[in-house]
């Protein structure tokens, strides 16, 4: 029950700790998605909440939902204006060079009949690509893997996953598209902060999932 995963709740919005493996959008195969759980997240309202942004299916952590149309428009605007602060944690399959930095690598979407679509880095920023920036910091190196904090300044599809694989040279562990795809995907949306005019900001923190601990990593 996702009602047990609520990290923040008021009259405008709620933040849930989305489990890994649960898609935000309904899959083409008709399997379960967030939509199947929305009726249990109304908390006294008649309307179902609506997701304001997306997390990849295998990414866990902070997901913001609006509770009414006016709030949805305001929250979406905060994302579009770059006012939302997101903090991710990931385990990368390799040892990253350096301790911290800012990845500035535009992303473009490519598609082939054989492999479907994916995002790729576009250093020249050619037509169709979008500017993408991610701050990063290594928290720990262990057993040939890197535990890394990511703070994206932009919100592109697969941004952290591509930046990790192409700019840092080490894909997210378990990433089925940009990495080896072996085992659980170790990418987690740990914190979300959304400023609101005239109101307290939305602040949510999602605890590090068990799959990270099993892999030998923890915060602190």
Q: Which residues are catalytically annotated?
A: 56
Distance CA 39, CA 35 (A): 8
Q: Distance from CA of residue 137 to its chain's centroid?
A: 17
Give SS3 for 143: coil
Distance CA 111, CA 193 (A): 33
Residue 14, C-beta contacts closer than 8 angstroms, at least 6 positions apart: 6, 8, 41, 43, 49, 64, 65, 67
Q: What is the DSSP string of 108-123?
A: EEEEETTTEEEEEE-T
**Of 56, 45, 53, which Cα lies nearest the Cα of 9?**
45
**Of 172, 179, 178, 177, which Cα lies nearest the Cα of 211?**
172
């Amino acid at each position: 029950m996702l009602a047990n995963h609520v990290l923040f709740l008021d009259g405008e919005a709620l933040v849930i700790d989305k489990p890994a493996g649960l898609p935000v959008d309904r899959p083409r195969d008709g399997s379960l998605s967030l939509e199947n759980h929305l009726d249990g997240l109304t908390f006294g309202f008649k309307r179902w909440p609506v997701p304001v942004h997306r997390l990849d299916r295998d990414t866990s952590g902070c997901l913001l939902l609006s509770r009414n149309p006016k709030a949805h428009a305001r929250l979406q605007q905060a994302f579009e204006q770059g006012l939302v602060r997101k903090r991710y944690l990931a385990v990368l399959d390799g040892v990253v060079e350096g301790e911290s930095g800012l990845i500035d690598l535009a992303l473009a979407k490519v598609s082939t009949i054989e492999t479907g679509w994916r995002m790729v880095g576009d250093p020249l920023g050619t037509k169709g690509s979008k500017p993408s920036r991610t701050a990063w910091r290594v928290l720990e190196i262990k057993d040939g893997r890197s535990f890394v904090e990511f703070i994206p300044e932009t919100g592109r599809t697969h941004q952290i996953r591509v930046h990790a694989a192409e700019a840092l040279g080490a894909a997210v562990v378990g990433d089925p598209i940009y990495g080896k795809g072996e085992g659980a995907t170790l990418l987690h949306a740990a914190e979300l902060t959304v400023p609101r005019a005239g109101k307290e900001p939305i602040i949510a923190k999602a605890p590090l999932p068990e799959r990270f601990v099993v892999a030998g990593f923890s915060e602190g």
